[in-house]
Amino acid sequence: MRRTEIIKAVFTLVLPAMLLLGCSRKSAKDTNADGLEAITSVKELGLVEYRVRKIVKADDEGEWYKIGDRKILFSCTAYLKAGVDMSSFTVDDIVMDRSNGKVSITVPHASLLTINIPSSEVRLEYDQVTLLRSSFSAQERNLILRQGEKSIRDSVPSLGILEKAEENARLFFEALFSKMGFTTVEVIFK
């Protein structure tokens, strides 16, 4: 069998069988238990991703014993993922009042979960070294790019990414608990 025929066989035979077996009816109690188990098993909840373009530059003017200067300029793209770190979250952080249809969930404030600057998206834009100076070494270039990453991390509060992640967390938990039958969902960030 060719590869395309195998893929067609999977989609026509195996996938429908999995869907039929996976669509068994569950009671509301089972659904609630599955939902709570799913919440407590998640270590981090990534809720928003931003793409940030950054220009990183360095100007190394020579000291008194060095004649000339060196300049370098990079452009890079950073991918920031923010969300809620759920590693310390337990079932005790959920307070349910089933008789009134209310639930209160306490989760940590949103934080920056990852920052990724792929090397394929780092470009050297400008590099100038005078005649009597040596070029930037690979170690110096990496240090300059790390300073750029630190600058991006420092700018996270002003980007609004954490506020957006908390807003998305609130919407996520409201939808999840509404599906479990709760009419009032309160999300508290600690």
Q: Is the pTM of this model over 0.85?
A: no
Ranges of beta strands (E only) in the chain are 44-61, 69-85, 94-97, 102-107, 111-116, 122-129, 184-189
| Mean pLDDT comparison of 13-17, 64-68, 147-151, highest-scoring range | 147-151
Tokens (6 digits) for 38: 């799913």
The domains of the chain are located at 25-189
* pLDDT at residue 35, as a whole number: 59
Tokens (6 digits) for 46: 């990534």
Looking at residue 146, its amino acid is: R
Encode pLDDT of 103-135 as tens digits: 999 999 999 999 999 999 999 899 888 777 778
